[in-house]
Structure 1
Amino acid sequence: MKRRSFLKFSALAALFGVGASGTAMAVARNSNPYHSGPLSDHFDGVRFFNPDGAEPKGFSDLLKWKFGGNQASWPRSVKSPFAPARPEPRVEGDRLRITMVGHATMLIQTAGLNILTDPVWSDRASPLSFAGPKRVTAPGIAFEDLPDIDLVLLSHNHYDHLDLVTLARLRLAHNPLVITPLGNDAIIKSHVPTMRVMTGDWGQSIKSGPATVHFEPCHHWSARGVNDRSMALWAAFVLETPGGKILHIGDTGFDNGRPYRNARERHGSFRAAILPVGAYEPRWFMKDQHQNPDEAIDGFLLSGAEFALGHHWGTFQLTDEGRDAPAEVLQARLAEKGVSRDRFRPLHVGEAWEHPLTA
């Protein structure tokens, strides 16, 4: 394997937590450097897991995919007609405005709060600065144009969601509070020791100002490098605000709809659901970690949300489908299922959506 191809493969292996990278963290197999705590129905003392869920794929499966797959060709660069966005300094009261920055990075504005999800402004979603999935569309909001950021919701530690370089920039520019599942604080603090971080387990909550953040289960896993798979927890979030509740999922497999049923049973209705719709091909490899657009619609309907916004597509090429396939498939499936396109929109980079009843 040529050196450049090997580096790209190593970065992708680290991204999916099934291989090694020269810069990845190596840990003992029977110890957890991120978290220690009591056993639970999803923590065995060393690793977290999905109760009654599917195990992550292994290294041989990654090899089978990468050397026997059929990856679509993406453009090297795409300019979004919506970017760069110029967000308002604050969105007060019951108004709800959500702007797509790119991939899983969203700016949520409501109740006077500015909240970022899984912030990534780096050029690559990779442990390497020179190899791995490269951004094809510039961030929808220039970093310098961000309003004052109060909170960061960080769903898990994969490189396309936890970007230490961006977190360090946010610490210096905004000093936000990072809310993240168990174990991710150790990863953040090792690189940004002065970052304000609070962690929680599934079923727990953290209150910050007028909002309460609830940690909810989803079907995924975590890894930063060699042997640390699933040693930090992953989660969906329910953001409870004076104007209502918002469901945000960074990554999940559909898991027979359990993440959505559980959220609805615990929280009732949602003003909006922010759901992943991309990085789903080939299905035999991705099904247990990434839902496809059809499953995202089913999850939206199960959640009972008024509206849904699709993310996790069009920025980094992680999997086999084409860049625009998630949006195209989503819109076709909405028509087939009789769901209005206005109710579930795959947001483009830089595009802002405002809840129609408060716009």
Structure 2
Amino acid sequence: MSTIAVTRVTHSCHLIEIGGRTFLTDPWFSTRPGYYQGEPIAIGIGELPDLDAVLISHDHYDHCDLETFATYRDHGVPFVVAETVVDHARRTGFDNVTGLQPWQEIEIGGVTITAAPAKHGVHEITFVLRAGDDAVYFAGDTLLIPELAEIPERLGHISVALLPTNGLHVRPAHNMQVVMNADEAAELTAVLAPELAMPHHYAFTKGWLGDRLITSSDRDPRHYLDAARKLAPDTTVRIVEPGIRVEL
């Protein structure tokens, strides 16, 4: 039986099963003006399984919806987060919180969780979860930066990579790019050489007006699929709808 499974909840929110444990990444279970998933929220908070930990890459609402997630039944669940998220998590009633800097790690239930570097509009980390020979890399919504090439050197083989692909730009900030695009995600796929890669963070929309005035992005994950086929032909890429559980 597979020891790794990933279920997309929505956006960058996933359930990751590895080493017999279950982890939730970047919870986002509500909407507000200008922040829409652009796809279903496949699993409600009350429908979540018992979690071994919650991983949060940074403090943007669409990755750190803790006011909504505060309705989760177990406020003792461990949180492993970027250090800028620690106070936010505690304010919303979660006391078992560990903040990590890049390359720091913690073990939960036999699974080693290592923070990896990231670059975004705010402080961010990404995560590698490892149990034995199995490893999942969760990239949040980072840009492609040279430090990410150190992941296989420092942490070994990656089995599954979950990567953002929409190349989000912020128009009022001189059209600054804040998320890797499809081609850059394919470059990272070639570096990590996972057996399986899944795109995320592509359906997000700020609504018809916000998409015209505030952000621009590529909402078609097939562009990543095409680029990865060229740059990382040995990796299987799956575009997965919310609610679908994929086993490796």
TM-score by length of 1: 0.61
Q: Supply the distance in 2 between the matched residues of 1:203 and 1:111 (Cα, whole angstroms).
A: 21
- 2:96 matched to 1:203? no
Aligned match of 2:200: 311
Unpaired runs of 5+ residues, structure 1, are: 1-92, 125-130, 223-232
Q: Secondary structure of 1:156's match?
A: coil
Equivalences for 1:144-163 in 2 at 5 Å? 144-163=46-65
Q: Deviations over 1:50-108 (max 9, x none)?
A: xxxxxxxxxxxxxxxxxxxxxxxxxxxxxxxxxxxxxxxxxxx7521101111110000
Q: Structure 2 counterpart of 1:133, which letter?
A: Y
Match of 2:83 among 182, 187, 190: 182
Relative distance call for 1:264 and 1:175 in structure 2 (3 A) is: same
SS where residue 162 of structure 2 aligns?
strand
Q: Which residue of 1 aligns with 2:112?
A: 212
- Superposed CA RMSD in Å reads 2.3
> Are 2:224 and 1:330 equivalent residues in the alignment?
yes
Secondary structure of the corresponding residue to residue 112 of structure 2: strand
1:266 is paired with a residue whose SS is: helix
Which of 123, 143, 149 is matched with 2:45 structurally? 143
For 1:123, the equivalent position in structure 2 comes to 31
Candidates 166, 189, 193, aligned match of 1:278: 166
Decide whether the 8 Å contact of 1:279 with 1:286 is kept in 2: no
1:301 aligns with 2:183: no
Per-residue deviation, 1:272: 0.9
Q: Point out 4+ residue stretches in structure 1 off by more than 6 angstroms.
A: none
- Give the SS at the match of 1:183: helix
Cα pair 1:182 1:199 within 8 Å, conserved: yes
Kindly provide the amino acid, as one letter, of the partner of residue 78 in structure 2: L
CA displacement 1:24-44 (0-9 Å, x = unmatched): xxxxxxxxxxxxxxxxxxxxx
Alignment partner of 1:320 is 2:216 = yes
Q: 1:347 aligned to 2:240?
A: yes
Q: Counterpart of 1:110 in structure 2: which amino acid?
A: I
1:299 match: secondary structure? helix
Letter in 2 for 1:193: G
1:315: how far off? 4.1
Structure 2 contact 181–218 (Cα < 8 Å) conserved: no
Structure 2: distance between partners of 1:312 and 1:218: 15
Per-residue deviation, residues 209-267 of structure 1 (Å, max 9, x unmatched): 11111111112242xxxxxxxxxx41111111134221111011113xx1431111111
Letter in 2 for 1:260: L
Partner of 1:248: 138
Asked if the contact 2:166/2:218 (under 8 Å) is kept, the reply is: no
Q: Percent identity?
A: 27
What is the alpha-carbon distance in structure 2 between the residues aligned to residue 304 and residue 239 of structure 1? 16
Distance 1:247 1:136, change over 3 A: closer
Partners of 1:219 and 1:252 within 8 A in 2: yes
Secondary structure class of the residue paired with 2:70: helix
Q: 2:69 aligns with which of 154, 162, 167?
A: 167
Give distance in 2, aligned partners of 1:299 and 1:242: 23
Asked if the contact 1:150–1:176 (Cα under 8 Å) also holds between the matched residues in 2, the reply is yes
- May I ask how many residue pairs the two structures share in their alignment? 239
Q: Map Cα deviations across residues 184-232 of structure 1 (whole Å, 9 max, x no partner).
A: 1112222x2343211111121111111111111112242xxxxxxxxxx
Greater share of strand residues, 1 or 2? 2
Q: Distance in 2 between matches of 1:141 and 1:123?
A: 15
Identify the residue that residue 101 of structure 1 maps to in structure 2. Answer: 9
Residue in structure 2 matching 1:235, options 125, 146, 151: 125
Q: Which runs of 5+ in 2 are unaligned?
A: none
CA distance in 2, matches of 1:114, 1:335: 30
Q: Displacement of 1:158 after TM fit?
A: 1.1
Change (3 A) 1:343 1:102: same
1:279 deviates by 4.5
Distance change (3 Å), C-alpha of 1:338 and 1:204: closer
